[in-house]
Amino acid sequence: MLTRTEPENFETRLFINGEFVESSDKKKFELKSPTTHKVVANVNEASEDDTNAAVAAAKAAFPSWAALTPSERAKCLKKLSTLILEAHSELAYLEAISMGRPISGYFESFAASETFSHYSEAGFGALGSSSLNTPGYMNFTLRQPYGVVAAIIPWNVPLLFLANKAAPALIVGNTVVVKSSEKAPLTSAKFATLVQKAGFPPGVFNIISGHGQISGNVLSHHMDIRVLSFTGSGRTGRLIQTASANSNLKSVILELGGKSPAVVFEDADLEKAAAETQYSIKWNSGQVCMANSRIYVHESIAESFIDLFKKKFEIVEAGDPTDAKTNHGPQADEAQYNAVRKHIEAGKLVGKRILGIDHTDTSSGYFIHPTIFVQTPENAAIMKEEVFGPVVNINTFKTEADVVEMANNTDFGLYAAVYTKNVDRALRMAKKLEAGTVGVNCTSPATARDMPFGGYKASGVGREGFGASMDNYLETKSVLVKIEDCA
């Protein structure tokens, strides 16, 4: 059953040094539902002082947290994993009212719980290596936590990113400051109440809310933050990279946007390819970094594919995201809605829209109907820029060489998919496509938790995932031991 927390019971304060506090300058920001447009909460805005206080608390907590054994640290992560599951219904509700995610598709609590559970068992894997390759020496490496890690997360799948960044950083002995997105701060604030219950020592795990230009900017310039893991837009990613260069050259991990291609060859299972590619761009109302927003279909099967795709794509149950029947929520807020609308209007000038309607009435929410463009010139803005809505371009191709060139003709490189039954062609494509993840006979959001995830080109810097993330939060030190009279 859905847990509908009453607004007066929402936690909207900052979680710093194990306590909930109001922002020091008493500033709050309004959060409006993208469905009803009503104010659902007034959320505390972390000031520069609050952000500095969170970092100072994390810095003070670091030595004793790092000195614990992985199994001692694991106790808090394990407890947190259980508490997240118990809060599933409330977390789903909070996301639905803040950024419009239908509760029917809410999975982040399960994923976040699994992440904390996984890392609670993984801490002893933080190992160095040794070498006898230098005569007269016995050398080894130490893997040590950096200190204070910051995580800046987006609004589209917030808890997933919070967990993916914080859990690996914490288990290897770092302390953490998370900044939630101003568009979806409620689940992170609720999550902070679970952190408190899980028994993390004060200062180890801090969670603040606020806008990027205030708290985000302070974190990215902060001299005491040693690693910053960011998921969000390329524009902000560039600002954070620059802030790192202009401050202490903190290590920066960037998970950014995409313009992912899916390529459908003439021998593909068309029914499956159509079902999966339409789901990829429809899920979460297209607000997914790896969504296949460009589809290239072989000219010989284009008509049948587009027909199948359109029939599946146009069926949505749009409405109140807190209603279990709804599977298509509004865009996250007015700004996102307007941005998508702008892209659609630009697309209409250059391509042929074969599905979609002109939205004018937003009184019941910022809904965008699934939209398909065909025959769009490859150099059009809508083929190049991330739309972040349920909007897809379907173009045709003649040869494998042509489609590789078209698919790679983008600044992004997060995910690419290929549908074919020819194994040689599938593997050639997997090698040639410029993307951090390639799906063969599958597409996003299919991922594997133990595979590295991240972007080629402007889609990011670094990789995250069960096999990759702990490395992001561990320094490597070489220790050279000279041994006298050692043969």
Beta strands in 232-380 (DSSP E): 251-255, 261-264, 294-298, 352-355, 371-374
CB 72 within 8 A of CB 64: no
Tell me the C-alpha distance between 175 and 160, whole Å. Answer: 19
Q: By CB under 6 A, is residue 256 in contact with ligand NAD?
A: yes
CB 362 within 8 A of CB 335: no
Least distance from C-beta 332 to ligand NAD, angstroms? 8
Q: Of these, 17, 52, 104, 233, which contacts ligand NAD (CB under 6 A)?
A: 233
Tell me the C-alpha distance between 432 and 426, whole Å. Answer: 10
Q: By CB under 6 A, is residue 460 in contact with ligand NAD?
A: yes
**What is the radius of gyration, based on Cα positions, of the chain?**
23
Q: Which is nearer to ligand NAD, 130 or 213 (CB)?
A: 213
Q: By CB under 6 A, is residue 45 in contact with ligand NAD?
A: no
Rounded to 5 degrees, φ, ψ at 58 are: -65, -40
Range list of H helices, 211-328: 217-221, 234-246, 270-282, 302-313
Least distance from C-beta 71 to ligand NAD, angstroms? 30
CB 150 within 8 A of CB 97: no
CB 261 within 8 A of CB 295: yes
Q: By CB under 6 A, is residue 289 in contact with ligand NAD?
A: yes
Q: Which is nearer to ligand NAD, 179 or 343 (CB)?
A: 179
Least distance from C-beta 421 to ligand NAD, angstroms? 30
Choose the stretch contacting ligand NAD; rule: CB under 6 A; options: 107-115, 170-178, 236-244, 312-320.
236-244
Q: Which is nearer to ligand NAD, 173 or 185 (CB)?
A: 185
CB 94 within 8 A of CB 10: yes
* Interface positions, 145-204, toward ligand NAD (CB under 6 A): 152-156, 179, 181-182
* Interface positions, 197-216, toward ligand NAD (CB under 6 A): 211-213, 216
Q: Which is nearer to ligand NAD, 104 or 217 (CB)?
A: 217
Give the contacts of 482 (CB within 8 A, at least 6 positions apart): 136, 137
Least distance from C-beta 196 to ligand NAD, angstroms? 22
Residues 404-443: x/- map of binding to ligand NAD (CB under 6 A)? ----------x-----------------------------
Least distance from C-beta 434 to ligand NAD, angstroms? 15
Least distance from C-beta 453 to ligand NAD, angstroms? 7
Tell me the C-alpha distance between 402 and 48, whole Å. Answer: 51
- Is residue 385 among the annotated active site residues? no
DSSP state of 213: I
* Nearest one of 87, 277, 335 to 191, comparing CA atoms: 87
**Which of 255, 276, 400, 464 is flagged as catalytic?**
255
Tell me the C-alpha distance between 197 and 149, whole Å. Answer: 22
Q: Which is nearer to ligand NAD, 88 or 222 (CB)?
A: 222
Point out the residues that are catalytic. 255
Q: Where do contacts with ligand NAD occur on this chain (CB under 6 A)? A: 152-156, 179, 181-182, 211-213, 216-217, 220, 231-233, 236, 239-240, 255-258, 289, 386, 388, 414, 455, 460
